Amino acid sequence: MIKKLVRKHLCLWFFIFSGLSVSVVVSSAHAAQLSGITEEWQKLKRAAPQIKPEVLRLALNAFERAKRMGLATKPILTVIDYSLASTKERLWVFDLSREKLLYQTYVAHGRNSGDLYATHFSNQGRSLSSSLGTFVTGNTYIGSKGYALNLNGLEPGYNDNALSRRVVMHGAWYVSEDFIKHYGRLGRSWGCPSVNPALVKPIINTIKNGSVLFAYYPDRQWLSHSKYAAV
């Protein structure tokens, strides 16, 4: 009887300590991941001092989540901060493997998203508005706007209609400093993140086929529901 009780208690303690060990391993792995993101964030922030620290942190979180899910296969991260005026260079492209800034440039927002600033976003067809959230880049094609890049929206209700809406990256004549000087803002797209024609090919060729594009705006509803931007 005593031997059975001893064995029972030994088994109980074994399961308790096993559970604790698993928790410690998981916690340690999570801490290591956070530490890695923090170190990477610091290096990228030094490379791109104009980007808001919190926007970069959220974008890195989104990339890591997409990578863990097997959706992001290319260590390239594009960040768009739609909270900035269109007269600001609010698009950044980072090479995460080399922790290097590759591009910083202008990007247009949708016609119905706003004028100088984008304040309204939509996932609906024919809304002529930009979409927020995490995208994975797809293949390229030649269309009515020239060389273009398909974007796959990963966030239901916020950007998962990107393909059906034909929200793609392409070049546009109205994305230029001359346009800004004349009109006080960039021109506006039908919802696409349009860039300067001189940069469209090098940027698209850098980010195509499996990298992450993260489009930010301080929208509380989106941030509270996003499974990618959250830690």
User: In angstroms, rounded to a whole number, what is the distance separating the alpha carbons of residues 211 and 207?
Assistant: 6
Cα end-to-end distance, the chain, whole Å: 51
> Within a 13 Å sphere around the CA of 18, how many CA atoms are in the beta-carbon half?
6
Over residues 32-60, the pLDDT tens digits come to 455 557 899 999 999 999 999 999 999 99
Domain boundaries, the chain: 1-47, 50-225
User: In angstroms, rounded to a whole number, what is the distance separating the alpha carbons of residues 36 and 80?
Assistant: 22
If one compares 14 and 173, the residue with the highest pLDDT of the two is 173
Over residues 124-182, the pLDDT tens digits come to 999 999 999 999 999 999 999 999 999 999 999 999 999 999 999 999 999 999 999 99
Q: What is the mean pLDDT of residues 94-104?
A: 97
User: In angstroms, rounded to a whole number, what is the distance separating the alpha carbons of residues 89 and 50?
Assistant: 9
Q: Nearest-CA neighbor of 62 among 229, 211, 221?
A: 229
What is the model's pLDDT at position 18? Answer: 46
Q: What is the mean pLDDT of residues 91-104?
A: 98
Q: Give the domain 50-225 fold.
A: L,D-transpeptidase catalytic domain-like (2.40.440)
What is the model's pLDDT at position 154? Answer: 98
User: In angstroms, rounded to a whole number, what is the distance separating the alpha carbons of residues 148 and 168?
Assistant: 7
What is the sign, positive or negative, of the torsion defined by CA atoms of 220, 149, 109, 165?
Answer: negative
Confidence band for 16, pLDDT divided at 50, 70 and 90? very low
> Within a 13 Å sphere around the CA of 113, how many CA atoms are in the beta-carbon half?
29
DSSP string, 112-155: GGBSSSB-----STT------EEEEEEEEEEETTEEEEEEEE-S
On the question of pLDDT at 6 being above 60, the answer is no
The SS3 assignment for 79 reads strand
Alpha helices for the chain (secondary structure H): 2-47, 53-68, 162-165, 177-183, 197-207, 220-225
Strand 212-216 to 168-170 pairing: unpaired
List, in sequence order, every residue forming a beta bridge with 189; answer none if it has no partner: 110
On the question of pLDDT at 27 being above 80, the answer is no
What is the model's pLDDT at position 230? Answer: 80
Query: Average pLDDT, whole number, for the chain?
Result: 89
Per-residue DSSP letter, 87: T
